[in-house]
């Protein structure tokens, strides 16, 4: 048994990093390893957690720094002083965290690859350099993958800490392209650990509560529900989903988007609304009632989980332009729903070769794609064969069993005992 310290900017809500960290902790807990949590936002048990506000990328001081280091190629001396002052505070907090909970292995979740919080990455790097602490660095997104970080005034810190090259760190990447880029850019090798779902457990059958979802969002039982289970951001390519529903020329087809635009503004969402009106497509946003748990809103409406939304969907649209992996795609496979996929790069390299049956497009909608979607909608036998095959392949390649094997190797490298 090992005492593991998860470190990141945020472990709260349904963002991809928080969800994957929770999956890691669950698999590790099943094998007697105990997890503790360090971040600037937390919804974990306070008894096993250390909340340090400056670790959160949304803290006002961190936001102030970010506004002055990205989009420009140099930084003022006062920015340097503040970065290092906050970093020293966070480093002392890491010392306190590891001592308080007697941490044996650190698991860094995305804080050493994407510079949402530069002082935190610097603090973690210096802490590991000073202690030689056994560390697993789980990298979901690298800064060189995002245009917003390409022009910056902290190139010296990015080279040092995002990610660092230190002998006590085992690097983990989530796709083969990131694995190759990491090696090429930094010389660091890594273990590829894909995102996973619990395919070993069948999805629950829709219950009576979930059956009210359609009525509550204003569609009929016999409507064909196209679910876009993503945030409303441009890289999700939602305009393709609208075009697909429009091309089907069936008023019973309705497009439902589960998540909000978040903190990236509402211009794209407004543009999608205008596009849907122009193409006579019913577009429904359900972010106010699709939440983490079932319950009731302040104005008395029922709330539903994303799983409830999947259970009521007939078809999943996933026309993303870019994805670090593609959790929503795995969810479509898990809930046994047919899915349209825009062949983003990681799908082509890491998912498609496994043999999944999807309707795929190559950056634009074609008549053949529309015809394939119509076949899936109107041919139940063909649709069932498709989703059953996808579930079995998901179980083989992206299940908790796969994660368990990968984590066993990582933990064993530090402990010398095969105890996972």
Mean pLDDT value of segment 349-356: 96
d(CA 156, CA 25) in angstroms, rounded, equals 33
pTM, 2 dp: 0.89
**CB within 8 A of 49, min separation 6: which ones?**
36, 37, 38, 39, 42
d(CA 109, CA 124) in angstroms, rounded, equals 11
pLDDT tens digits for range 61-115: 999 999 999 999 999 999 999 999 999 999 999 999 999 999 999 999 999 999 9
Statement: residue 419 has pLDDT above 80: no
Which residue matches tokens 């690298």?
142
pLDDT tens digits for range 357-375: 999 999 999 999 999 999 9
Q: If you average pLDDT over every residue of the chain, what do you get? A: 95
The token pair at 195 is 């995102």
Statement: residue 260 has pLDDT above 70: yes
Q: Residue 280, SS3?
A: coil
DSSP state letters, 361-372: ESSS--HHHHHH
Mean pLDDT value of segment 272-294: 95
What band does 420 get if pLDDT is binned at 50, 70 and 90?
low
Statement: residue 264 has pLDDT above 70: no
d(CA 405, CA 37) in angstroms, rounded, equals 23
Domains along the chain?
A: 3-196+400-415 (3.40.50.2000), 208-397 (3.40.50.2000)
What band does 320 get if pLDDT is binned at 50, 70 and 90?
very high
The token pair at 40 is 């600037």
Residue 337's beta-bridge partner residues?
Answer: none
Note whether 357 and 389 are within 8 A (CB). yes
Q: Which helix (H) or strand (E) holds 169?
A: strand 169-173
What's the pLDDT at 324?
85
What band does 262 get if pLDDT is binned at 50, 70 and 90?
low
């Amino acid at each position: 048994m090992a005492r593991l310290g998860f470190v990141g900017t945020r472990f709260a809500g349904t963002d991809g990093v928080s969800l994957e960290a929770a999956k890691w902790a669950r698999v590790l807990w099943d094998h007697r390893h105990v997890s503790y949590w360090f971040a600037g936002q937390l919804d974990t048990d306070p008894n096993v957690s250390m909340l340090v506000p400056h670790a959160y990328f949304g803290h006002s001081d961190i936001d102030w720094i970010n506004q002055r280091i990205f989009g420009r190629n140099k930084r003022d001396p006062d920015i340097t002083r503040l970065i290092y002052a906050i970093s020293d505070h966070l480093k002392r907090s890491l010392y306190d965290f590891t001592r308080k909970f007697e941490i044996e292995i650190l698991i860094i979740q995305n804080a050493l690859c994407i510079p949402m919080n530069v002082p935190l990455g610097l603090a973690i790097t210096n802490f590991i350099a000073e202690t030689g602490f056994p560390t697993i660095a789980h990298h979901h997104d690298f800064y060189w993958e995002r245009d917003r970080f390409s022009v910056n005034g902290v190139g010296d810190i990015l080279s040092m800490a995002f990610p660092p090259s230190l002998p006590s760190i085992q690097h983990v990447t989530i796709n083969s392209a990131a694995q190759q880029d990491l090696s090429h850019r930094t010389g660091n090798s890594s273990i590829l650990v894909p995102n996973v779902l619990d395919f070993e457990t069948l999805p629950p059958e829709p219950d009576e509560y979930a059956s009210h979802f359609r009525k509550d969002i204003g569609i009929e039982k016999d409507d064909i529900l196209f679910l876009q289970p993503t945030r409303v951001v441009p890289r999700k390519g939602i305009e393709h989903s609208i075009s697909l529903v429009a091309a089907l020329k069936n008023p019973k087809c309705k497009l439902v988007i589960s998540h909000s635009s978040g903190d990236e503004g509402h211009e794209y969402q407004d543009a999608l609304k205008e596009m849907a009106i122009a193409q006579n497509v019913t577009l429904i946003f359900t972010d106010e009632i699709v939440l983490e748990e079932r319950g009731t809103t302040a104005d008395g409406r029922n709330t539903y989980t994303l799983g409830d939304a999947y259970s009521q969907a007939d078809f999943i649209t996933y026309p993303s332009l870019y994805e670090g992996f593609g959790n929503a795609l795995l969810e479509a496979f898990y809930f046994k729903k047919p899915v349209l996929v825009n062949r983003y790069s990681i799908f082509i390299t890491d998912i498609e070769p496994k043999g999944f049956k999807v309707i795929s497009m190559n950056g634009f909608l074609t008549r053949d794609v529309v015809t394939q979607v119509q076949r899936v909608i109107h041919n139940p036998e063909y649709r069932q064969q498709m989703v059953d095959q996808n579930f079995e392949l998901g179980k083989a390649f992206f299940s908790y069993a796969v994660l368990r094997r990968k984590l066993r190797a990582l933990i064993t490298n530090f402990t010398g005992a095969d105890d996972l």
